[in-house]
Structure 1
């Protein structure tokens, strides 16, 4: 990777770096043009050449790299990554020892000390996600460190740094034994079918584990449930197994129907007794209002940004409107599960969206519960953006 490059931090950003803010942004650096190759080791200094931190250069969204150490003499080798991974694995001991849950996050990027890289566990198989070409330069060292610490049945990788946001690999398999298709994993004793070699997403979002458990345990029994932006229907499965009378799953993607049928089937649920619709969620809301449909539980988990033929949805701008439509088809005393994984705003602003939506509809509400990321999605206080998940259980009072 060549010699280390020294980058000068603008004075207004020095304090952040000193207290442990790990993301290196272009607007924080005076001489970013001095570094050309992703994966280059960079040393951050202030105006007086005082050392601030050491990391690597890698383009990831608005970021241009991550600080990995505040030790100027740190070497980013197998030993370094082994130490980070060992601590991360120890932090997940209870999950590794839980036979009822066999899918979870083992390493959560900057939360575990190496921004730009995550590792997930699926019933003995591991999936590493690389978020920049820069971190991918450390691939061999990270894999070597991982295989020294745990028994890796099979290893897969997801390269998430393709140009124009497209997924670039046809084959994600790296080494070991190939996983069956589907691979059945458990989450709180619920079965989920995942496909480790099927593009960027494997079939379940692991960060919603606590939310699915809460829906199953406390909000489903005897309830009618609408699951919007339903993907493979994981929330619907949790609701049915929790005693829901009927679920309706709505997603625009054609494959969502067959995937949802599969998730019901691997749990012994009669999918024909559930409604699974390939439809624009916004169209469905209008249909539900027209047909005077009401639900006891409405789940809203939209992507941060989505585009269909007639709608463009941006969470930071359009979430209040989405909530207003959900309120109109939620029964009195019903519950809306409002969720967002958009990292550009926090829980305070999200609650502001909720207040705005209810005020505009003339309805009243109370917040029953709220969630952020589960324990395996480790975050650090110095990087608030890393704790991106916001989920609020809202009871509609009137």
Structure 2
């Protein structure tokens, strides 16, 4: 860890933004960003008269160049600093720790809990730290030591997600405790899911969709034919099947999605052979469904914010509207579309604009039934709205 502190000058038009609590250090806001080159360097933000604004650390990630951690000039980013932040976050999740129905949740949500650049998730006694920059990784000993002191655990694992080429850095992910036997079976609102902390960056379930899966199961799935696109390990399909769906169809391009989805169904006592699990490009599948005149009573759309297959490049901001039009064309009258995106580059209003335009362009009437953003364990702050990236809208096609 670099002990030298470097001053960065904030351009005048960004000063009020940082003074009012904006946490992300961005290229366009800083005059002399080139003065700092070493990841993990402590940086002090000052105005053009060298008056103190805030301090944080330098760490390149896809969002920016580091995070503000404190508004106190004399604050030291030492063991006690990290311990206090982690302790506050753990106390705030007390109801999750006590739950008998759910034992998988987010313990620390980056800037929402006061330190941008990493997250911690809990899976039935196992903790997983996701590092998003080399900068925050420089502080890993403080963070791991603090976590080890504050909680009892079966094991701690980590994922380094800061390779400059945008791919996951593969290496041993085990940090402390006793190595797990994978999969570990976790519970979410009474549903079982298999989780692998020793494979890729994606462990088998996206915890931010917990409330959405519960709503599908409890309110909308009963008796319906359900299409789950970009289905990954089939978590939405499992929730729908447990909610009494007549049949689920899961479509994903990745070969592993087949065995992973079979596994999730089987863990919940669902006959996977009565469900359809299809390994195919979702865009091809839409064309096939139109050709075969297939219609579904519920269509779940949860694409990655950016995806590339052999024939398609999908970007949520550019292409979500057209994806919705494809979904509308194979949704039954009075059917439900669950439209979801985790893109932080636009907000809920713009997302609803995509929905409105897609319905108008296909001549469809619709009603919005309910909407979701991140669940409460994914803590966010009002000064950083893009941190609340999840947008889910339940649409009734009239």
TM over 0.5: yes
**1:227 paired to 2:204:** no
**What is the distance in 2 between the residues matched to 1:311 and 1:34?**
40
Asked if the contact 1:58–1:65 (Cα under 8 Å) also holds between the matched residues in 2, the reply is yes
User: What's the CA shift for 1:207?
Assistant: 0.3
CA deviation vs aligned residue, 1:1-51 (integer Å, no higher than 9, x gap): 131001100001100100000000111111111111000000000011110
Two-structure CA RMSD over aligned residues (Å): 0.6
In the other structure, the counterpart of 1:210 is 211
Residue in 2 that maps onto 1:363? 364
Listed as ranges, the matches of 1:262-273 within 5 Å are 262-273=263-274
| Cross-structure match for 1:250 | 251
Q: Show the 5 A alignment for 1:7-26.
A: 7-26=8-27
Report the TM-score, using the length of structure 1 for normalisation.
0.99
Normalised TM-score (structure 2): 0.99
Paired position in structure 2 for 1:236:
237
Q: 1:1-398 to 2 correspondence within 5 Å?
A: 1-397=2-398
Q: Partners of 2:208 and 2:236 in 1: how far apart?
A: 12
CA contact 1:129–1:158 (8 Å) conserved in 2: yes
Q: Offset of 1:196 from its aligned partner?
A: 0.5
CA distance in 2, matches of 1:24, 1:62: 9
Q: Distance in 1 between matches of 2:135 and 2:304?
A: 26
- The superposition leaves residues 168-216 of structure 1 with CA deviations (integer Å, 9 ceiling, x where unpaired) of 1232111111122110000000000000011101000000000000000
Aligned residue for 2:25, secondary structure, equals strand
3-state SS in 2 of match to 1:60: coil
Runs of 4+ in 1 over 6 A off after TM superposition: none
Q: Distance in 2 between matches of 1:102 and 1:169?
A: 27
**Unaligned 5+ residue runs, structure 1?**
none
Residue-pair matches, total: 397
How many angstroms does 1:62 deviate by? 3.8
> For 1:76 and 1:376, how far apart are their aligned partners in 2?
24
Could you list the runs of 5+ residues in structure 2 that have no partner in the other structure?
none
Q: Indicate the larger mover: 206-215 or 61-70.
A: 61-70
User: What SS does the corresponding residue of 1:118 show, helix, strand or coil?
Assistant: strand
Distance in 2, Cα, partners of 1:169 & 1:163: 13
